[in-house]
Amino acid sequence: MKKKITLIGAGQIGGTLAHLIAIKKLGDIVLFDVAEGIAKGKALDIAQSSPIDNFDVNLSGTNNYEDTKNSDAIIITAGVPRKPGMTRDDLLGINLKIIKQVSEGIKSTSPNAFVICITNPLDVIVMALQRYSKFPKNKVVGMAGILDSSRFKYFLSKELKVPIGDVETLVLGGHGDTMVPMLNHTKIRGEPIENFIKSGKITKDNIEKIVDRTRKGGAEIVKYLEKGSAYYAPAASGVQMLESYLKDLKKELPCAAFLENEYGAKDIYAGVPVIIGKNGVEKVVQINLSENEKNQFDKSINAVKELFDAAKKIDPELE
């Protein structure tokens, strides 16, 4: 039985998601957008490429939630992206209203869906989504850590002139300036990065520069694009999560997941390694953090908590 995948938001990321999902033949795709023409136009355009890339999936566009009902999976990008000079947090007010509307739309039509949220400010928006929709916490997850980790891997591979497949690392915590690239969990061909510092292949200063560039990875692209933000790497990241769910791959992936005392945090969403399989977020994986990593992680959690407090001031329903 073909899976039904609904993409709420048919903008830059939504359209790229649809194209990647179609080419990977993961299931039938419904593109939903308040701008119905964008959803319909992109669905038709991608469908017309099916004879070329030989994918036999149905694509449709709509602005009616009835057309999205009984979805197996939903990926949400509905919202506004940053403009140059804006922080992810600046999007809170407008995107909180949008995610409330989306939650109303999906909760009665696809109560059993696995929901991947991409809309920024990610950690707070995914938490608001879970509260508004009342979906089980293991069925609502945020995409950010895979993107941040991918950026970190890419920068390290370029600096060390090694194939990207040789770099193993991850970025945890909130999807913002306080995100935590985990240096103690960074290996090149299985060798701790410490050894590359000792052998002079990379300096601590260069690593710090790469960490900073990773934290500001989104803003760097916003500056180039001027209108809009990154969408190819975010879409590829969301598809990796979707595929692990639909095919029950049980991949360990850094995602914004609900914490219930793991890493000393509770009743909050933040970026941690999780196992994604047919039951959604099946497990939060606890890795050992150095004192420095734990301090940075706690700082990142506090930043998410502060922003969620701001969200609760905007909408007391989130209490």
Q: Which of residues 60-99 bind ligand TXD (CB under 6 A)?
A: 77-82, 91, 95, 98
First vs last Cα of the chain: how many Å apart?
Answer: 40
Q: Is 219 exposed, middle or buried (0-12, 13-18, 19+ CB in 10 A)?
A: middle
Q: How many residues does this entry show for the chain?
A: 319
Answer yes or no whether residue 118 interacts with ligand TXD by CB under 6 A: yes
> Which residues in the chain belong to E strands, given as ranges?
4-8, 28-32, 59-62, 73-76, 114-117, 140-142, 167-168, 171-172, 180-181, 187-188, 191-192, 251-260, 266-277, 280-284
User: Of the two residues 119 and 300, which places its CB atom closer to ligand TXD in the complex?
Assistant: 119
| Nearer Cβ to ligand TXD (86/162) | 86
* Residue 14 Cβ vs ligand TXD, minimum distance, rounded to whole Å: 6
**Closest approach of Cβ 5 to ligand TXD, in Å?**
16
One of 122, 129, 259, 274 touching ligand TXD (CB under 6 A): 122
296 binds ligand TXD (CB under 6 A): no
The Cα angle at residue 63 between residues 58 and 67, in degrees rounded to 5: 50
Question: What order do you get walking across the sheet with 187-188 strand by strand?
Answer: 167-168, 187-188, 191-192
Of 42, 82, 137, 175, catalytic? 175
Distance separating alpha carbons of residues 277 and 101, to the nearest angstrom: 28
Q: Is 188 in the site for ligand TXD (CB under 6 A)?
A: no
- CA atoms lying within 13 Å on the CB side of residue 241: 35
- How many residues contact ligand TXD, by CB under 6 A? 36
219 makes contact with ligand TXD (CB under 6 A):
no
> Residues 147-176: x/- map of binding to ligand TXD (CB under 6 A)?
x---------------------------x-
Q: Is 114 or 196 the residue whose CB approaches ligand TXD more closely? A: 114
Establish whether 175 is a catalytic residue.
yes
Sequence-ordered alpha helix ranges (H) in 186-290: 193-198, 204-215, 217-225, 232-246
Question: Where along the sequence are the contacts to ligand TXD (CB under 6 A)?
Answer: 8-14, 33-35, 38, 77-82, 91, 95, 98, 101-102, 118-120, 122, 143-144, 147, 175, 218, 228-231, 234
Catalytic residue numbers?
A: 175
